[in-house]
């Protein structure tokens, strides 16, 4: 189900490590592989996790839009772990699973609203190197979402890039979260709109 990470997993030791194992097993049934791989630097894991918990509390932007944006980043970057976990999260949070599974091929899929498409286009544009965000993209999202939600969405996408790029660089792949919920497989990303 998973490949071999580029650096070996570390044993989650000490009080913090044991606590992380207990909490994550209660929440997910297993310890997420990114934690195990990145535990070589526990402080970095704990600090980024603390920031992630704060990011998850933001509530100015719609949860579905943020979920689709994160999954669009993961699909573009190639983070199968984030796609797998994002789909699992959509299921557990009561979000639209049909749409969540279609994110990797959002351009061809007929299930998304124009706003959802603009959000995923923006997420991908922010994730390009260099970013390809245009004034028109920001203006359209600002008109529909308002400034607070757009600022939140922008920072959410930036955080998604940190997570997806870190997992991708370390070779962390899908862990089977979606399969554990017996969810249908995610649609496969097409080459349409992919970076050259």
Domain ranges of the chain: 9-57, 61-180
Half-sphere exposure of 23 (CA within 13 A, CB side): 9
pTM for the whole thing?
0.89
Supply the pLDDT for residue 1.
44
Answer whether 87's CB lies under 8 Å from 97's CB: yes
CATH of domain 61-180: 1.20.1290.10
Other CB atoms within 10 A of residue 188 CB: 8
Supply the pLDDT for residue 195.
47
Supply the pLDDT for residue 119.
98
Query: Integer distance in angstroms from the first to the last C-alpha of the chain?
Result: 29
Supply the pLDDT for residue 3.
77
| pLDDT per residue as tens, the chain (196 positions) | 457 999 999 999 999 999 999 999 999 899 999 999 999 999 999 999 999 999 999 999 999 999 999 999 999 999 999 999 998 888 888 888 889 989 999 999 999 999 999 999 999 999 999 999 999 999 999 999 999 999 999 999 999 999 999 999 999 999 988 776 666 666 677 665 544 4
Structure tokens at 185: 């497989």
| Cα–Cα distance measured from residue 184 to residue 10, given in angstroms and rounded to the nearest whole number | 32
Angle at 33 between CA 85 and CA 68, to 5 degrees: 20
């Amino acid at each position: 189900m998973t490949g071999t990470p580029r650096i070996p997993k570390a044993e989650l030791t000490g009080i913090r490590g044991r606590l992380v194992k207990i909490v994550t097993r209660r929440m997910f049934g297993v310890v997420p592989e990114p934690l195990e791989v990145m535990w070589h630097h526990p402080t970095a894991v704990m600090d980024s996790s603390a920031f992630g918990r704060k990011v998850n509390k933001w509530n100015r932007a719609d949860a579905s839009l943020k979920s689709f944006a994160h999954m669009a980043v993961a699909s573009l970057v190639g983070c199968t772990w984030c796609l797998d976990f994002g789909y699992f999260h959509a299921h557990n949070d009561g979000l639209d699973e049909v749409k969540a599974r279609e994110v990797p091929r959002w351009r061809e899929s007929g299930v998304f609203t124009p706003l959802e498409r603009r959000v995923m286009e923006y997420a991908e544009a922010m994730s390009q190197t260099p970013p390809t965000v245009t004034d028109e993209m920001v203006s359209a999202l600002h008109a529909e979402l308002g400034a607070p939600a757009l600022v939140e969405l922008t920072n959410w996408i930036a955080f998604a890039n940190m997570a997806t790029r870190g997992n991708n660089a370390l070779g962390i792949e899908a862990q089977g979260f979606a399969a554990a919920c017996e969810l249908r497989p995610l649609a496969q990303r097409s080459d349409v709109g992919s970076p050259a």
